Amino acid sequence: MLMPERLAKYHDKYVNDYLTTGKKRVLDSVRVEEGMRKGGELFPIELKATEIVVADNKRWFIGFVRDLSEVITKSEQNALTRLTNQLFPPTIAAKIAQGETSIHNYHKEVSIAFLDIVGFTTTSSILSAQEIVTLLDQIFRGIDNLLPKYTLLKIKSIGDAYMIGCGFPNEHPDHAKNIVEGAFEILDIVKEINDANPTLPSQLQVRVGINSGDVIAGIVGTTKPQYDCWGDTVNLSSRMESSGVPSEIQITEETFSLLPAYLQKRFVVRIAVPIKGKGLIDTYITNIHGKKRSSRPYLKAKPSLIDEDSYSLSSSFQT
């Protein structure tokens, strides 16, 4: 291991200057420089020189040289590990770290939620680029910070849409309850952002759809690999969002049946909602804004008899 000439030529000068003037230029300071191996290869080194006074006031100068190649490699590996843990659930990240390349599992009991910011495309056409990104960042950061509280998993965000899962890759008996409670809190987050941004062209509204069932989940792709999930449960959850109502949460009967009574009471039945690929199905929806409705949460009626008092919203009410 050799010291490159551009550094070596100064060392004797620094020591002689110190002996003459007492000024420490390099002594007891640590610097990172490039070293050169005998084969001519440059590599990062850490340098330090120090003085030791021995018997009869004799002075010794000792130089320490440390190869930083492995240190930097470990630092980079730690950074990669942190990034992997941010992008994937811990159990999936552990499999990646162990070198697994094909990761996929079937999960029998999970819940999936889709969220969409209603009218954001129109709102963003009025705002500046910085305002758009700042606003989305406020919303998504708020949701991100909420996820651990309910053991929820961020699947992905696309544009102004956000997808959440619960019950996988680790099983969770309260997946439906947790994801619904999390959805209510997300609506509160959006309200807080509206209150903090009174100059918005229009108030932000989030439409939420939730379904429960089974999924296949795994990692796909090599460039920006993504942990995702698929199946009819996912498709119907997306339909719950797209056929829903702004600032309300719409869930399927499968999700409703898994909720404790205190959460069921926050929903009313919505009769014969047209769902692509499913036809007309009954769903359950919140009544956060106090629409006129029956006090009976399980009201059933024929579509032709529905009126606003039942809050079983017909297709004409869809947005």
CATH of the domain at 57: 3.30.450.20
Question: In terms of domains, do 83 and 139 share one?
Answer: no
Q: What is the pLDDT of residues 253-278, one digit of tens each?
A: 999 999 999 999 999 999 999 999 89
Examine residue 169 and say whether the peptide bond preceding it is cis (omega within 30 degrees of 0).
yes
Question: In terms of domains, do 110 and 189 share one?
Answer: yes
Question: In terms of domains, do 270 and 208 share one?
Answer: yes
What is the structure's pLDDT at 79? 73
**pLDDT band, residue 96 (cuts 50/70/90):** confident
What is the structure's pLDDT at 316? 32
What is the structure's pLDDT at 66? 84
pLDDT, averaged across the chain = 82
Query: Is the pLDDT at 136 greater than 60, yes or no?
Result: yes
Question: In terms of domains, do 124 and 42 share one?
Answer: no
Q: What is the pLDDT of residues 189-225, one digit of tens each?
A: 999 999 988 888 888 899 999 999 999 999 988 778 8
Question: In terms of domains, do 95 and 134 share one?
Answer: no
pLDDT greater at residue 137 or residue 223 = 137
What is the structure's pLDDT at 4? 63
Question: In terms of domains, do 94 and 109 share one?
Answer: no
What average pLDDT score do residues 147-166 get? 94
What average pLDDT score do residues 285-293 get? 71
Question: In terms of domains, do 142 and 246 share one?
Answer: yes
Query: Is the pLDDT at 166 greater than 60, yes or no?
Result: yes
Q: Give the highest mean pLDDT range of 100-109, 127-136, 159-168.
A: 159-168
pLDDT greater at residue 145 or residue 11 = 145
The total domain count for the chain is 3
Per the structure, the complete domain to which residue 80 belongs is given by 71-101
What is the structure's pLDDT at 7? 67
What is the structure's pLDDT at 314? 34
pLDDT greater at residue 202 or residue 232 = 232
Question: In terms of domains, do 216 and 284 share one?
Answer: yes
For residue 204, give the CATH number of its domain: 3.30.70.1230
Query: Is the pLDDT at 83 greater than 90, yes or no?
Result: no
Q: What is the pLDDT of residues 64-79, one digit of tens each?
A: 888 887 776 666 677 7
What is the structure's pLDDT at 296? 37
Query: Is the pLDDT at 164 greater than 80, yes or no?
Result: yes
What is the structure's pLDDT at 192? 93
Question: In terms of domains, do 277 and 153 share one?
Answer: yes
Query: Is the pLDDT at 229 greater than 90, yes or no?
Result: yes
Q: Give the highest mean pLDDT range of 19-23, 42-46, 69-73, 283-287.
A: 283-287
**pLDDT band, residue 106 (cuts 50/70/90):** very high
What is the structure's pLDDT at 84? 76
